[in-house]
Amino acid sequence: MNQESKIAVDLFMEHAPTLYGYAYSRVRDHHLAEDLVQDTMLSAWKSWDSYQGGSSVLVWLTGIMRHKLLDQWRSNARKPILQHQENEEQEANPAGLFDEQGNWVIDPNHGMASMLQSPAAAAHNADLRKFIALCMAKLPQRMLLLFQAKEVDELSVAEAAEAAGVTPGSAAVLLTRARHSLRLCLQESLMQ
Amino acid sequence: MKTNLPPPPRDYQKSHQLIGAWMHKHHLSCEHYTHLSISAMDRPLGISEKFQRWIHFFMCSVCRKFTKQIASLRMLVKRHASDLATTKPTDEFLQSLRKELASTTPENSSPNPKPDNSTDG
């Protein structure tokens, strides 16, 4: 192996830990995360020519990984167990929160003192951090993929929709449901 | 939906029994307000939506708190993701990945293409 290839490999490998962290934060499984990183790095490696410069190498690699994530999700979705989860998306709307006039039938703030101080305080709260992990794991996979693309990667709704393989219209609905579901799940967790 | 959450405070119930129908008619209900507040995180609201949202915001303390919650939720989700993203891969994995890259030739060129394609003149 010549010196230049070695430098190129080093350049790629510099990003491997960051990519792995990204992958793990999405799939929460070490084996799946390893597969994703390997898959991403190899296909990026083979197609250096398509790298235009402009964005950083890490941004480019992350973009490739987002596509791989969607591919991985799609191949999982063919398995019947996850197909079932997909159907539950339809029922995740906030039915039962409001009466027919649109008034609250539950107290959305009961037990939520830790969410009401400030966003920074909430983000430091150990209980909330434990519960948000559990609550996010309960979201249907496609909704989670979309929600993370929007909220964590800070993509636009249109870009996030593409990353999750849904139309922008249903993305808006799914994002609303995701927030309602997570908030409600946190409240129920805090009350136990 | 099964939930064991208590009903809203008494003063909320009283006031909203009085004005609920009126608010509902003018798209100023709590349900509409929460929908707008959440939508505002994904898209800019129209002028009438903004107006509806602000009217309700001043009228309803329960919904004012709800707004704080979804702002906290956003931060919490980000914090959770960045916590997870610090997870490190194993050395074995990195080593085997490095080997694999080294044994695979990039299709056309390396990042710094060798200039020796050109014939020496």
How many CB atoms are located within 10 Å of the residue A76 CB? 15
Residue where one domain finishes, among candidates A51, A78, A105: A78
Residue A173 domain boundaries: 83-191
Both tokens of residue A126?
């150990």
**What tens digit of pLDDT does each residue of A2-36 get?**
777 788 788 888 999 999 999 998 888 899 899 99
The amino acid sitting at A147 is F
- pLDDT at position A88: 43
Q: How confident is the model at residue A142 (pLDDT cuts 50, 70, 90)?
A: confident
Place of tokens 């009085």: B18
Q: Please give the helix or strand (H or E) that residue B79 lies within, else none.
A: helix B61-84
Q: How many CB pairs under 8 A join A and B?
A: 221
On whether residue B115 sits in a domain, the answer given is: no
End-to-end CA distance of chain B: 80
C-alpha A143/C-alpha A135 separation (Å) is 13
Q: Which residues of A touch B109 (CB under 8 A)?
A: 48-49
Kindly state whether residues A144 and A66 are assigned to the same domain.
no
Q: What's the average model confidence in pLDDT over A155-171?
A: 90
Kindly state whether residues A108 and A64 are assigned to the same domain.
no
Residue where one domain finishes, among candidates A22, A51, A78: A78
Is pLDDT at A54 greater than 80 in this prediction? no
Q: Which residues of A touch B53 (CB under 8 A)?
A: none
The CATH number of the domain where A36 resides is what?
A: 1.10.1740.10
Q: List the single best residue of A24, A34, A109, A110 to mutate versus B (max B Cβ within 10 A).
A: A109
- pLDDT at position A1: 60
* pTM to 2 decimal places: 0.81
Kindly state whether residues A66 and A92 are assigned to the same domain.
no
Q: Which has the higher per-residue pLDDT, A81 or A17?
A: A17
Question: Percentages helix, strand, coil for chain B, rounded to the nearest 5?
Answer: 65, 0, 35
C-alpha A33/C-alpha A36 separation (Å) is 5
Both tokens of residue A43?
């296909």
- pLDDT at position A90: 46
Distances in whole angstroms, Cα of residue B26 to Cα of each of A104, A112, A161, B23, B45:
17, 29, 32, 5, 17
C-alpha A178/C-alpha A147 separation (Å) is 7
Q: How confident is the model at residue A77 (pLDDT cuts 50, 70, 90)?
A: low
Residue where one domain finishes, among candidates A52, A78, A104: A78
Both tokens of residue A185?
């799940």
Chain-wide mean pLDDT for chain A? 84
Residues 6+ apart with CB under 8 A from B86: A21
C-alpha A138/C-alpha A37 separation (Å) is 24
C-alpha A70/C-alpha A23 separation (Å) is 12
Q: How confident is the model at residue A73 (pLDDT cuts 50, 70, 90)?
A: confident
Taking only residues 56 to 95 of chain B, the set having a beta carbon closer than 8 angstroms to any beta carbon of chain A reads 62, 65-66, 68-89, 93-94
C-alpha B44/C-alpha A36 separation (Å) is 35
Q: Which residues of B touch A155 (CB under 8 A)?
A: none
- pLDDT at position A94: 66
Is pLDDT at A87 greater than 70 in this prediction? no
Nearest CA in chain A to B91: A17
The answer to whether the complex's ipTM is over 0.85 is: no
User: Nearest to residue A70, comparing CAs of A149, A163, A150?
Assistant: A163
Counted domains in chain A = 2
Residues 6+ apart with CB under 8 A from B116: none
Residue B45 domain boundaries: 10-86
For chain A, how long is the longest CA-to-CA vector?
73
User: Nearest to residue A2, comparing CAs of B118, B105, B117, B96?
Assistant: B105
Q: Which has the higher per-residue pLDDT, A87 or A112?
A: A112
Q: Which parts of chain B have pLDDT scores under 50?
A: 108-121
Q: Which has the higher per-residue pLDDT, A78 or A4?
A: A4
Counted domains in chain B = 1
Is pLDDT at A55 greater than 80 in this prediction? no
Q: What is the DSSP letter of A48?
A: G
